[in-house]
Structure 1
Amino acid sequence: MTSPQDVPAQTPETERRSVVRLQRAIQIGLRGRIVLAVAAVAMLLSVVLAVTTVTVAKNTLLTTREQTLTAQAIANADTVSGALGSAETADLQTLLSSLPESGSPLLLTGAAVPLSGEDPSTVSVDARYGIDALPAEFLDSVVQERNNAVMRFRFDGESLLVVGVALPDSNASYFQINQLGDIDTAIRSLGLRLAFAALLTTFVAVGLGYWASKYALRPLNRIRDAAESVALGQLDTRIEYADYAADPDLAPLVANFNDMVSALQERINRDARFASDVSHELRSPLTTLNASIEVLQNTREVLPERSQQALDLLSLDMGRFTQLVEDLLEISRFDAGAVRLELDAVALVPTVEAAVRMVAHAAVPVEADPELTDLVIACDKRRLVRILANFFDNARKYADGATSVTVELHEPDHLGIILSAPTVRISVEDSGPGVPEGERDKIFDRFNRGDQGGSRGIDMGVGLGLALAAEHARLQGGSVWVEDRHDGGQGSRFVLELPMMEPLEADDPEDLAAVTPAEAETFALTGQMPAIRLDESPDPPV
């Protein structure tokens, strides 16, 4: 059993995080808040109207009933008053029973009105309502003070209306007790119906609120879609200002959004032009320096040992510098939107096998689902090779090389129901130390080399290769990520997912598979990716 001392104390930071998690769990979106507000207003109005209606109806019914019964009670009292002098008790009971609309009449006689020589007594035709049923203050007002009075009260759970009339020229008093149960029943029935109507109105208001919020939030949805497009790199996205120019609330928002995107596009284009210009200007001196180093390498045997070591270090750093310039030039093309997607009809499995032969430094097995053997999809063949080259180069630097490649079909489904279009996944596995959970999203960022790439050791990259792989995949509508190996072994699994787009027209799917080892050298790696050869690279946009 755990003692209280073993339970760690809650720190302020832990409590704050718990509160934040609770707030997020109960947080309601804008549409939900609009729907709840409309429903709350509808329910409040319905309740107010229902209560008002019930109150007015009850008061009206009771007032009308009271006026009618009071007039009838006075008329009945006059009839009884004329018969008091000569009537016997039995005759009075018969008389009380015969009174029209008298409810439960009650006659209280005094000493001045002898009944067959008896003491003052009470004559009643309804045993349920004797003199003890009437409130004491009401009796005093009628019997002692000789006032006519009307009163509503409850007796034995019943709602009653009593009219008291002090009979003139005698000590007798006439009381007429009427039940109001029918009014109570009518009011309860009306209340239930109004409550049901209020509930129905609330549900209708929820539906109308949802529809109204959907209509009202349509401009925000367009802004959201535009923001998502901008986040995906489509910096030419704009919202048509003319559609909202007449709206005093949305027009400034749309204008500010367009201005923000324009400023962002200008900033990115300016940075891209700067990186492109710098990279472009460095290409010529880099070509000269690399050629000079190659000449020195051809004569290194005649150089002293210290000079040979310096030449090797210079050659490594120049290779890294050349890689950086080429990667910067390529990434600037993505930023400037100057890249072109060239879709080819690609026989997927043969193309992957050929790409592996080109970029792998050792024989790496390729496993593919049988149904993918003859699959032909539309994709950019060279970008596919570059992504795989980056995966293999990353495995070579940090995991002693790739161990296997898998090509498989992926059909997202839940309980047998297909949720989205099928895709193909190409996975490159290694047996290295793996990628920590916290680094898996970051390693595809620019200039991020992870914890293992933090030092500038020999043959370490500059941190742009995987970022370029992500850009190449995104351009084709795909994505890349890293995960654990599916067999549970040590290492990582880098995955490329591409949509299964059908080619528009047939192409030769074997042209890449037929590349010879000599031709494969033209895809020589500059560290993390196949380089664009300097003599073939188009000039960057200015």
Structure 2
Amino acid sequence: MPSLVRIWRRSIQTRVVTSTILLSTLVVALTGWALLRDVASGLADSRRAAAVSEARSGFDYAQTQLDAAVETEPSTQSQALTQMVDSLTRSRGAQRTYELVLQGPLLTDDGEVPIRSSAAIQPRALPADLAAAVRAGPGTFWRYSELSLVGSGSVEPSVVVGSQLRAPGSGDTYAMFYLFSLEDQQDTLDLVRRALLLGGLAMILMVGGVAWLVSRQVLDPVRLARRIAERYASGNLEQRMHVSGEDDIARLSTSFNQMAASLQSQIRRLENLSRLQQRFVSDVSHELRTPLTTVQMASEVLYDSRERFDPLTARSAELLKRELDRFESLLSDLLDLSRFDAGAAVLELDTIDFAQVARRAADDPVLARAGITVRLVGVERPALVEADPRRIDRIVRNLLANAAKYSGSDVVEVEVAQNAESASLSVRDFGVGLSGDENIRVFDRFWRADPARTQGGTGLGLAISREDAALHGGTLQAWGRPGVGSEFILTIPKPEGSAKHPPLESVYA
């Protein structure tokens, strides 16, 4: 069943063909039912009209025979009636399509009604409402019925026509019934039903085949476009769709190829631009390192001698030293990013304990200067991983510095957890939080959520931290809610483990 559901959800052709077959089946069924009903009604009405006409002729003949009989003795009259029934049933020989039933006299002393029949009809097989109507008064009445024969379990559809007869000599009344079989009409109806069933089935199969053929002609180019788009997604930009003809599919293929060529051109241009930017950053960073070192040495001499300067010059020496330190930090970050871009970054692995890293984080002077209280969770047990201590410390310092500068929170919670595959360390604050797509953009280079709230910094710390985490095969993710807080979770896999199932989940997720 799951495989059928997957096929139904993923295959347009399956849905189109199935829907077409179901709708065709519904239309054919309704049409066949209407046609069958009209045919059955026409056959029944035709047979009924002929039966009533023939029965009336028989009733007139029977009444004429009774009018001609002047004997009033019951035995003589009974014999005459029996002969009349035999005469009516013999009168048409092999062409006779009816049976006769004669009841009467209808009023007798003992309440029993004698019955004379030309066939073995069950005594109570006649419709009760028809018999009551005939006994009630003169006229010709008819009903559709299913009659059972004596000694046979079969039921035969029939139309029964009845009328009242009166013997003028004795004044007795009789009820005569003509029973016309509808067996031929039923056979015709069964033939029509089989023809409609077979024809409808053939039509449904034909419509399903046409739907499959048409949907395949339409969807095959779409499937080809999907496969080529998947190749584009995997980096193969040389694929193109085959264009044949001038129809809508051909124009779609042409447009698709033009779009692919444009994308390829744009991607190549962006790749070239990215390479130029990376080379520029790397070259500038290296070229600035030497003059920066010289200027910084000079600034340190001035900074150490600031007490002998006048206040304005001393303040200028302090500002020069601070800005050169910021510039050196930015230059170091740019060099690290250039190594990541060039794939030259390497790890110096050692066994470290996330619980110990968290305890050291609680003593970070950046948090103390900001007046932030650190709350530790889950640091009672060691959480050991193989990682580069320098890079892990840098990630945690960047997360704490980010919380101190931008969160506006008085409390920062550092939590450690582990499972069989990985260990996690989270830094959670309860300040301004993150909104919208900021939890993704926060790792972009030089991006800040609110430049008005910046307190220095380069905008590269979180970007470098995420690159450090990825270099370990781990993850660094961010969550947040506006006005509630934000949380960053670092996950590093253990040996032979993975970071796919981190032991910590964000409370803001």
Task: Work out which of the residue numbers 461, 464, 484 in structure 1 matches 2:460.
Answer: 464
Is 1:426 the counterpart of 2:425? The answer is yes
Q: Which runs of 5+ in 2 are unaligned?
A: 1-7, 67-80, 101-117, 120-125, 144-156, 162-177, 245-249, 369-373, 499-509
2:277 alignment partner, one of 271, 276, 294: 271
1:47 partnered with 2:56: no
* 1:338 and 2:342 matched: yes
Pair 105,287 (structure 1): closer, same or farther in 2 beyond 3 Å: farther
Q: Which amino acid aligns with 1:290?
A: Q
**Residue correspondence of structure 1 range 441-520 to structure 2 within 5 A:** 441-451=440-450, 454-455=452-453, 457=455, 460-483=456-479, 493-502=487-496
Structure 2 counterpart of 1:406, one-letter code: E
What's the offset of the Cα at 1:470? 2.4
SS at match of 1:407: strand
Relative to structure 1, the CA distance from residue 39 to residue 482 in structure 2 (aligned partners, 3 Å threshold; closer, same or farther) is same
- Alignment match, 1:283: 289
Q: Residue 294 of structure 1 aligns with which residue?
A: 300
Q: In 1, are the aligned partners of 2:425 and 2:491 still within 8 Å (CA)?
A: yes
Change in CA separation of 1:468 and 1:217 when aligned onto 2, cut-off 3 Å: farther
Amino acid at match of 2:392: L
Taking structure 1 as the reference length, the TM-score comes to: 0.51
TM superposition score normalised by structure 2: 0.53
Q: Is the 8 A contact 1:345 1:376 kept in 2?
A: no
Q: State the 1:463 CA deviation.
A: 1.6
The structure, 1 or 2, with the larger RCO (C-alpha pairs under 8 Å, 6+ apart) is 1
**Alignment partner of 1:265: what SS?**
helix
Please state how far the C-alpha of 1:67 moved relative to its aligned partner. 13
- In the other structure, the counterpart of 2:65 is 88
Query: Which amino acid in structure 2 is aligned with residue 353 of structure 1?
Result: V
Is contact 1:429–1:491 with CA below 8 Å preserved after alignment? yes
Q: Which structure has the greater CA radius of gyration? A: 2
Question: Do the aligned partners of 1:481 and 1:495 also contact (CA within 8 Å) in 2?
Answer: yes
For the 8 Å contact 2:158–2:179, the answer to whether it is kept is: no
Supply the distance in 2 between the matched residues of 1:94 and 1:369 (Cα, whole angstroms): 115
Distance 2:302 2:460 in 1: 29
- Within the alignment, does 1:393 sit opposite 2:401 as a pair? yes
C-alpha spacing 1:309/1:345, structure 2 compared with 1 (3 Å):
closer
- Summarize the Cα distance change of 1:287–1:213 in structure 2 as closer, same or farther, 3 Å threshold: farther
Counterpart of 1:435? Answer: 433
- C-alpha spacing 1:358/1:325, structure 2 compared with 1 (3 Å): farther
Is the 1:406–1:426 contact (alpha carbons within 8 Å) kept by the matching residues of 2? yes
The percentage of aligned residue pairs carrying the same residue is 27
**Aligned pair partner of 2:267 in 261, 264, 267:** 261
Residues 403, 381 of structure 1: alpha-carbon distance in 2 compared, 3 angstrom cutoff:
same
Please state how far the C-alpha of 1:310 moved relative to its aligned partner: 1.4
CA 1:62–1:385: 2 relative to 1, 3 Å: same
Give 1:307-318 correspondences, 5 Å limit.
307-318=313-324
Partner residue of 2:351? 347
CA contact (8 A) 1:35 1:213 kept: no
Residues 102 and 477 (structure 1 numbering): CA distance in 2 closer, same or farther, change over 3 Å?
Answer: farther
Contact kept? 1:161, 1:178, Cα under 8 Å: no
Q: CA RMSD in A?
A: 6.0
Is 2:310 aligned against 1:304?
Answer: yes
- Hey, what's the Cα distance between the residues in 2 that align with 1:328 and 1:184? 91
Give the 5 Å matches for 1:151-230: 178=182, 220=226, 223=229, 227=233
> Residue type of the partner of 2:65?
E
Could you say what secondary structure the match of 1:262 adopts? Answer: helix
Counterpart CA distance in 2 for 1:372 and 1:256 is 54
Q: Conserved in 2, the CA contact under 8 Å of 1:353 and 1:366?
A: no
Q: Distance in 2 between matches of 1:425 and 1:95?
A: 109
Do the aligned partners of 1:405 and 1:427 also contact (CA within 8 Å) in 2? yes
- Structure 1 unaligned regions, length at least 5: 1-28, 107-123, 135-157, 163-173, 230-236, 412-421, 505-542
Q: How many residues align?
A: 382
Conserved? CA contact 2:425–2:489, under 8 Å: yes
1:241-289 deviations in Å (ceiling 9; x for gaps): 27x6689666726555544533442333333334444444433333332
Cα distance per residue 1:371-411 (max 9 Å; x no partner): 764x445x555443332231133244456998664321268
Specify whether residues 181 and 33 from structure 1 end up closer, same or farther in structure 2 by C-alpha distance, changes over 3 A only.
Answer: same
